[in-house]
Amino acid sequence: MGGACDNINGGGRNQKQRFRFVGVFYILLITVVGTDAAGGLGGPGEQNGKTSSTQRDVESLCLSDPDKCNKKLGSLFNGTINIKDSIKNALIADAVELQKHIDNPVLYKELVKDKRSEEAMRICDEVMDNAVDAVNKSVGELDTFDFNRLSDFVFDLQVWMAATLSDQQTCLDAFEKVDTKASQRMAQILSNSMNLSNNAIDMINSVSELLDDFGHVPSDLDRRPLSDESEKLVVVRRRGADGRIPVRTLDRGASSSAAAAEPTGYPGGPYDTSLLVKYEHHVARHIWFGEERGPKKELKVAGHGLKLNSRVPLALPPQMESWVSRSGLASLQRTSLNKIDTNLVSAFVERWHLETSSFHMPFGEMSITLDDVACLLHLPIRGIFWSPQDVTEELAVELAVDYLGVSQSQAQSHVRSCRGSYYKLEWLYDIFVHHRAASSWAYATRAYLLMLVGSTIFADKTFTLVEARYLLLFRDLDGCSGYSWGAAALVTLYRYLGDASMYSCKQLGGYPTLLQCWIHEYFPTVGKRGENWNPAGNCGLPRAMRWSYRQGVLKVDDLRPILDELTPTDVIWRPFEDHRAWRVFDEICLYRGCLKWGETVVPYLPDRCLRQFGYRQYVPSPPLDCMMATDIDVDWISYHQSVYSNTHILHPQ
């Protein structure tokens, strides 16, 4: 740690490094109060016993304990001390005061005796490094503090508090799993510091309200959480005559000469290349320089809607209907669009970034969420992930014999013709028809369900095949309802969107109906759409069935500038509020973590698209590196921990 924080970590550095995260939140608490004191009315205290305006501001903001807060900070501000230095003094003095309580050698020795406690300490050290960096940044910001940038500074504190609160919850969870007296005491210390964090959040909100009262306007609209009023002021970047979006600086307060300087990173793309690490291969980078994917700018997208409509019977036999209904997949029989608007879909794919699992729009990020899947497709989003075994061609043959009721020779011939561990969708349909006629209901149902998912949520870029390993999902027809089919659909689509966003890819797999219907729901002015019924007249059908295909006239070239000029007012942020009678919002949709299906793992980051959940958007934490995740299934089952840490920092729009 550098700067003023060196004073905090003086002697006994190795021991204090173990506990340093505990002081982070108290430091932030004092930062919030001190910052407001600096920016309240900001002058020397009034004489003759009168209460200064600064002290009144401090008292008004320290709602939890005004007397104590005023006594603690009010004396730091007087006419002889520089305000910025006073804030630094407050940071250091109060951190040192807290350090006295946590520098307990007896507690430290007790913790390292227990392996689980030591592991919990290691976890805390790892997750709190970012929090300590945030504190360093807050101290460094004081050196350049300007009253005219007060709103920006307060907003920075909101962002840092959001990240540190999430880290603190992770640390607390690690200690709560350890049953020793020392660990219980450590957990209590962390719990107390969490209360300080929550108080700090309340104080930050009070600062924002105070700024509104004083009519203080932030200097950078792009970084302020959107409200109904601020949405009207969002700056839109439009393409120039050369088809490019003018470059603007990302550094708040940069001079015009700095803005004119050649930026680092990618022209028309990110300046900071540490986030979008795949941007070098992204289609957007090539489009900027006039390089298209090929003669056809749109992707090849296969929608199985027409074939599926011809293959799905009006009614299944009762014996099959029971299994299909209980599987949770019955809704997929009727949700597919007959055709896909490939130009519309391709224009949105160009804005997808796999690192953030989101579309990067001119006004921020948006994504297809678990709630969207639940409402559009009526698939269950709660359930377990699936971890399959490898399926060779030989095993694909055995599975077809055992679970599809075909002969050994027939299975061998078919798998050989597929040149891999696949089954043809048309072949599965023929098996379904054959066994239905023979009243072999289990075989018929497995073939039907495999054909159904292979034509929808598991559609791949071959457009005619489905992976044989998916047959393992339906070995037990009574148990396949336990899977999170909604997560499966989302993981598969995320994966193919990530592939298709790369310049070298020319095809899109996954369920394109899900993507196109999502566009229709959120962007009513983009593309051409047919409407089968008004939401008010819905009888509980999946919302995807509301839409029908209409031949679009706009090409990808036409849609790019339209998307460039979109503003928040062009978006229906919560399109499914009139659908809650059939699909109640599930808090698991706010889970922040990794989703897994098979060997595919993707980040699911609702904190990057909070406006879709009715909350104001703040600057989110860095995306997750799911390639390093090891306990994805456990994290998913204990989703409430992630949701709990997120909901503490959410504010309705």
Position 116 scores a pLDDT of 63
pLDDT at position 270: 84
What average pLDDT does range 591-595 have in this prediction? 94
Instruction: Tell the burial category of 500 from Cβ atoms under 10 Å away from its Cβ (0-12, 13-18, 19+).
Output: buried
More confident residue, 602 or 118: 602
CA–CA separation, 483 and 486 (whole Å): 9
pLDDT at 36: 38
Tell me the average pLDDT of the chain: 74
- Specify whether the backbone of 313 is left (phi greater than 0), alpha (psi in -120 to 50) or beta: beta
In this structure, of 63-77, 135-149, 349-363, 531-545, the range with the lowest mean pLDDT score is 63-77
pLDDT of residue 387: 85
- Asked whether 278 and 503 are in contact (CB, 8 A), the reply is no
Q: Is 325 helix (H, G, I), strand (E, B) or coil?
A: helix
Handedness of CA 557, 558, 564, 569 (dihedral sign): negative
Strands 352-353 and 358-361 turn out to be: antiparallel
Task: List the alpha helices (DSSP H) in 367-511.
Answer: 370-377, 393-404, 408-418, 425-437, 441-454, 485-500
Amino acid at position 410, single letter: Q
Q: Which pLDDT value is given to residue 266?
A: 81
**In Å, what is the CA distance from 77 to each residue of 51, 57, 392, 578?**
12, 12, 74, 53
Q: Average pLDDT of 259-267?
A: 55
3-state secondary structure of 488: helix
Q: Which amino acid type is present at position 111? A: L
Query: What is the distance between the alpha carbons of residues 121 and 240, in angstroms, rounded to a whole number?
Result: 54
pLDDT band with cut points at 50, 70 and 90 for residue 651: confident
Residue type, 177: K
What pLDDT is stored for residue 62 in this prediction?
A: 45
Across 141-156, average pLDDT = 53
The residue ranking higher by pLDDT, 410 or 2, is: 410
What is the rounded distance in angstroms from the CA atom of residue 13 to the CA atom of residue 61? 34
Q: Give the model's pLDDT for residue 76.
A: 39
pLDDT category of residue 129 using cuts at 50, 70 and 90: low
- Give residue 389's pLDDT: 79
Give the Cα separation of 280 and 153 in Å (integer). 33
Which of 134-143, 224-233, 500-509 is predicted with the least confidence, judged by mean pLDDT?
A: 224-233
Q: What is the DSSP letter of 19?
A: H
What's the CA gap between 478 and 288, in Å, rounded?
A: 52
Quick one: tokens of 315?
A: 């009614």
The pLDDT assigned to 157 comes to 53
Contact between residue 608 and residue 365 where contact means Cβ atoms under 8 Å apart: yes
- pLDDT top residue among 30 and 126: 126
Q: Which residue has the higher pLDDT, 569 or 123?
A: 569
- Rounded-to-10 torsion of CA 456, 461, 466, 467: -120
Residue 153's pLDDT band, with cuts at 50, 70 and 90, is: low
Range of lowest pLDDT (93-107, 423-437, 590-604)? 93-107
pLDDT tens profile 293-331: 999 999 999 889 999 999 999 999 999 999 999 999 999
Give start and end residues of each alpha helix (H) in 268-314.
283-288, 305-311
| pLDDT at residue 3 in the model | 39
The better pLDDT of the pair 350, 158 is held by: 350
Q: What is the DSSP string of 115-136?
A: HHHHHHHHHHHHHHHHHHHHHH
Name the residue with higher pLDDT: 435 or 160.
Answer: 435
Query: What count of other Cβ atoms lies within 10 Å of the Cβ of residue 243?
Result: 13
β-sheet bridge partners, residue 530: 548
Top-confidence range, 148-162, 250-264, 632-646: 632-646
Confidence of residue 97 (pLDDT cuts 50, 70, 90): very low
Assign residue 614 a region (left: φ > 0; alpha: ψ between -120 and 50; beta: otherwise).
Answer: left
* pLDDT at 404 exceeding the cut of 60: yes
Compute the distance between CA of residue 591 and CA of residue 589 in angstroms, rounded to an integer.
5
Q: Is 407:401 a contact under the CB 8 Å cutoff?
A: yes
pTM attached to this predicted model:
0.64
Model confidence band, residue 471 (pLDDT cutoffs 50, 70, 90): very high
CB 24 within 8 A of CB 135: yes
Give per-residue pLDDT as tens, 427-460. 999 999 999 999 999 999 999 999 999 999 999 9
> How far is the C-alpha of 623 from the C-alpha of 607, rounded, in Å?
10
- Please state, in angstroms and rounded to a whole number, the distance separating the CA atoms of residues 199 and 608: 24
Percentage of residues in the chain having pLDDT higher than 70: 58
**50: exposed, middle or buried (C-beta count within 10 Å: 0-12, 13-18, 19+)?**
exposed
If 0-12 CB within 10 Å is exposed, 13-18 middle and 19+ buried, where does residue 1 land? middle
Does the structure show a pLDDT above 80 at 186? no
Q: What is the pLDDT of residues 335-393, one digit of tens each?
A: 999 999 999 999 999 999 999 999 999 999 999 999 999 999 999 999 999 987 789 99
Whether 73 shows a pLDDT value over 50: the answer reads no
Q: Please, which pLDDT band fits residue 67 given cuts at 50, 70 and 90?
A: low
For residue 483, CA distances in Å to 170, 383, 385, 488 come to 27, 5, 6, 8
CB 58 within 8 Å of CB 40: yes
Q: Are 502 and 282 in contact (CB under 8 A)?
A: yes
